[in-house]
Structure formats: C-alpha cells, structure tokens
A and B are shown apart, each in its own frame.
Chain A
Amino acid sequence: MHTLIISELAKNFKSKSVLDYIAFECKTGDIIGILGRNGTGKSTLLKILFGTLKADKIRVSIDGKNISPEEIIPQQKIAYLPQESFLPKSLNVREIVPLYFKEGDMQDKILYDPLIAHIANTKAGNLSMGELRYFELMLVSTLPNPFLILDEPFSMVETLYREKIKEKLINLKTTKGIIMTDHYYHDILETANSCLLLRNGRLITVNSIDDLIGNGYLPASNY
C-alpha cells in the first residue's frame, strides 16, 4: 500500500490564482477523477504533481517521506500519461516496447495484449487515437511506479478503446493509485471511486451529475 499526499499546492499565473492551496491524497486502490472546465488548471495540477511544472508552493509526501518536486521524476514514483502523444512517431510498437522494458516477459505482456498484438509492426505515428492511447496506457501502467497520472485518457478515443481503458484502469487500481482528468465526465464518474471538481482554484468533492450541475460544471437545461 502506497500513499501520496499533496498539500499547500498553490500556483499563480501572473496575478491569477489557478490553484489555491489545494490538498488531497491518493492511495493504492484509489482512482481519483478530477473534472473542471477548460482553463481551470487540471493539466497544470497534473504537471505539477509529476514535477514538470513548478508550483509556487507545494508539499509532496510519498509513503510518509517528504519528497522535493525535482525528485519525483528521478525517483520514478509516478508515471504520467500526458494529454498529447509522447511516443517517437517514427518507431513502431515493437521497437518502442524494449525502450521501456528490458525484460522479455514485460515486453511480452504488452506485445501479446489482444489489442496490441495486431499493431505491433505499426509506427506510432500511424496508430488510430484509440490504439495510440491504449498502447500509451499499457506502457506507462506496466512501469513499476506506484502512482499513475492520466491527462485525458478518454479524449477522442473510440468507444471500444474507451471501454478497454476503463477495464484496464479498474484492474490497475489493485496495485496503483490513479489520478486522472478528462472532459468525458460519464467515464470519469463511472471509473473513479472519488471525484473532485476543480473550480476557482479549489477542489470540490462531487458524486453525481446533480453535483456537477449544482457546481456549474454542467448546464441544468440539458438534464
């Protein structure tokens, strides 16, 4: 069991406060879904957690030990699926996997996955959005890092792959703590065991569509 605790997270862009002393924790077994309208700071929050964007203030602790944001990447405690593809487009799936995993059994786990086997010889740049997202998720989730951050894993992904991604995430939570954000709120509400809405720099707990309407994320007229 691993625990990630974030506290006192503050980030301003010029005079605008994007994240206003946010605090939350994620444990193995958690899938925390973060919702929010465009520009509310969801991706900013995830990048700060992964250590690729500097916060004005933050405290991070993993398994009771304080960790500096600069050490998050070198210590490989968190794996990250960014919003846009991060794979070298000119390499095919079979060439990419050994760059992530030396061990043959780990490579086989990915290459023999039913949704990946048939695209093994396809270049990353030629994969469909669903194939690409699923393959990227397989790569980052197979890493031993105990926490996984996903920035829009469902966006632009066809239904078949969305369902497979949800299935995969539910299986993954037995070994990892997952934090994800997306605009596909149905998928988030369905998959996450805890949902937070980022609004005015603060995180608000939400449990249902009604909560999303009540907090101004969804228009009441559509429901």
Chain B
Amino acid sequence: MKHPNTKAFWLYYRITSITNLAFSAIFAAIKLDFIWLFLIYGTFGTGVGILFFNYYYKNQYYFYHNLGYTRRKLAQNTFLVNIPILIIGLTLFLIG
C-alpha cells in the first residue's frame, strides 16, 4: 500500500472496538471475572466488532478501499492492535 493514512484506520478501529468492548464487558460480567474482558477483547470480540461493522456499515468499506485498505488489511490491523492489548492486559492481571 502507498502512503497509508492511518487516521482513517483509527476511525475503523474505534467503530469496531466500541462493539468489541461492549461485547467483552458483557461476557466478563456474565463470567464474573475481569480477566475475560482482555481474553475476549483480543480474540473473539475483535471478530464480533468486525462482523458488526460488516453488517451495519458495509458501504463504508469503500471509504477505506479508496485509501488502499482492503477488508482483510483492516481486519489484520485491528487484530495487530488488539493482540498486544490482550498480552499486556493478561500480564498485568496475572502480576496483579
């Protein structure tokens, strides 16, 4: 990809993460264990956030395509941000 404008990616990330965070928080609340918030946010919840975007904002993908982002690239980047959050969160949780 040429000259990626990362600001656009962060918009995508923000939209998918709101759903992800809500989903992960509900899951952690059901399990009554805070560790699930990180576990779900960095894994399954990321997929849920992306699916939510696919369903409710499908046409907005063209906004990102024009900037060189394919659907796959957006999803990959989202996981690349969330996996370190998962690792850091789990580490802090286990240390604490």
Binding site for B on A (CB under 8 A): 50, 52, 70, 73-76, 79-80, 82, 84-88, 91, 98-102, 139-140, 143, 145
Contacts and interface: CB of A to CB of B under 8 A. Distances in A.
Given A52-B62, A88-B57, A143-B66, 9 more contacts: A73-B68, A80-B66, A84-B59, A88-B15, A99-B5, A100-B66, A100-B67, A102-B5, A145-B66
B1 interface: yes
B87 interface: no
Given A80-B65, A99-B7, A74 B59 contact: no
B7 A76 contact: no
Contacts of B63: 86-88, 99
A143 B68 CA distance: 11
A74 B3 CA distance: 10
Interface of B: 1-2, 5, 7-8, 11, 15, 57, 59-63, 65-70, 73
A73 B69 contact: yes
Contact of B2 (A76, A85, A99, A140): A76
Nearest to A90: B15
Contact of B7 (A50, A74, A98): A98
Contacts of B65: 50, 52, 73, 80
B5 A85 contact: no
Which of B60, B63, B73 is packed against the most chain A CB atoms within 10 Å? Answer: B63
Contacts of B59: 82, 84-86
A99 B73 contact: no
Nearest to A71: B70
A98 B57 CA distance: 20
A74 B68 contact: yes
